[in-house]
Structure 1
């Protein structure tokens, strides 16, 4: 059955200032199962969508990056979005913005070249020209995210909660973290995994993370871990359904350990899988120290 016979997939257009976090966003969308294409000329968007929906294995979700690297095409974006809408999709434009002083600092720190530097402009002038060119897109954006005061982890978490979780009913976000870097302030439930055996002390496992089979096998062979998981599962099974309400869109369940690489990551993945298997439709995972 082709995609036309099913509901049209979500389509997110990612745009904004160079250096504001668009690459982080597209990488996060890819982690969420979106089919991602970066730097697509705006005039090709309607044909791209038509072709991808006509295939037998059409993606369930699509994210497309359109920005100043296609400077001459930006005027075509509103018309392209209109044509995509005529194909039955409801495209959402997510615009990333950042203050000029922060952009200057980020480029100085990374020593990357601005996409418009080929015009012979100094960095400040290239940023100014790009901002002027992107004004029409910022005006029509469905959502503008100012990343001036956000780090990479905060940007990823925003994408996860806004786009990985639909908000239809109660959605769950499982997060891992390192205690030495502080508790995630947005967590609703926090479970301390530092009481469990630590794979860090095994030289073979130290470079790995809780997503790797070696670490999983090590932890699942420990009786303490099995008891811990069973008790947390029982707690979540009993109390998460009681949090459903019309005013609450998602709940964050956080697991912490010393370094945020092994035990907490394993538990976040394990409990997220458990919740999916027990019928929760909207479940996302965020590893603060890895992502």
Structure 2
């Protein structure tokens, strides 16, 4: 029998420590009609194991199982909705139990405007799960009340009001695709204050201090995407200083987002109608922010094209 040799110091130094496999748990919830199923399909395409309509009471037991065998289910997404209203009432206790057990998780909340949700339910010719004998709007109001706390604690909120299924799938794919180091995906959104604040904005910039091209006859029919309007807006005294300082102010915010494992944020830029100033500044901000390390940007003009 050959005597087994002891490993030498040189052999020890060559040993590479094995990094333990960590599992990811994502809780997907939000308003009925806002696109939970579309988001679930996009996550499955990204390699997530997705469980839909899981009663919240089973969440802690499932998460504990996954934490014991992370290599088998490294990425688990659980879609929770309010169809079982009595069961959903315990969602807070279930999430608290996860935290108490040391199991980390993130919450993705899908939202949409009431008008959009009503239109989607009417087009699908189906009732809202909470409307009972009332109207669709009654069900939406009840669901918003029930989901208010979940929305407040969600790390990521996606407003799908102006998204079709393909755009929502793309947004989820970009948000959860694997791209090496932690990347912060920013949506730079222009909007018009007269149409309301974006519900999913993390920061809102008001650029109504810049002179309005609407009052220049030759610029009125153009938009902030046109060079003439962009030059008029960005060459105004104070506009360049504002953009530079705003980007500088956001840098420590983005560092904090990464430390808190937040990968998605929306920066909204508003003017009166969302056609000239906000569009031009949003484009310039996206250009500047995309130059920051580990930041990707996309641009969305919410109200461009409205009368």
TM-score, with normalisation over the residues of structure 1?
A: 0.54
Specify the alignment match of 2:232 in structure 1: none
1:247 is aligned to 2:260: no
- Equivalent residue runs for 1:1-291 within 5 Å: 6-55=20-69, 58-117=72-131, 119-166=132-179, 168=181, 247-249=293-295
CA contact (8 A) 1:35 1:59 kept: yes
Q: Secondary structure at the match of 1:69?
A: coil
Aligned counterparts of 1:128 and 1:56: Cα–Cα separation in 2: 39
Distance of 1:93 and 1:133 partners within structure 2: 16
State the aligned residue count: 177
Runs of 5+ in structure 2 lacking a partner? 1-18, 185-289, 299-307
Matched position secondary structure for 1:68: coil
Mapped contact 1:67–1:74 kept (Cα < 8 A): yes
Is 1:93–1:143's contact at 8 Å kept on the other side of the alignment?
yes
Residue number in structure 2 paired with 1:219: none
CA distance in 2, matches of 1:247, 1:151: 31
Taking structure 1 as reference, are residues 56 and 10 closer, same or farther at Cα in structure 2, changes over 3 Å only? Answer: closer
Farther-moved stretch of structure 1 (40-49 vs 162-171): 162-171
Cα shift readout 1:157-212 (whole Å, capped 9, x = no counterpart): 111111123561679xxxxxxxxxxxxxxxxxxxxxxxxxxxxxxxxxxxxxxxxx
SS of 1:96's partner is strand
Residues 115-171 of structure 1, C-alpha deviations (whole Å, 9 max, x = no match): 224x32321211111111111111111111111111112211111111123561679
Q: Per-residue CA shift, 1:205-257, capped at 9, x if unaligned?
A: xxxxxxxxxxxxxxxxxxxxxxxxxxxxxxxxxxxxxxx986244599xxxxx
Pick closer, same or farther for the CA change 1:104–1:247 going to 2, 3 Å: same
Distance between the aligned counterparts of 1:109 and 1:88, measured in 2?
43
Q: Is the 8 A contact 1:42 1:74 kept in 2?
A: yes
| Residues 140 and 75 (structure 1), Cα distance of their counterparts in 2 relative to 1, 3 Å cut | farther
Q: Which has the larger radius of gyration?
A: 2
Unaligned runs of 5+ in 1: 172-243, 253-291
Q: CA deviation at 1:80?
A: 1.7
Report the CA distance between 1:78 and its aligned residue: 2.7
TM-fit CA distance, 1:77: 2.2
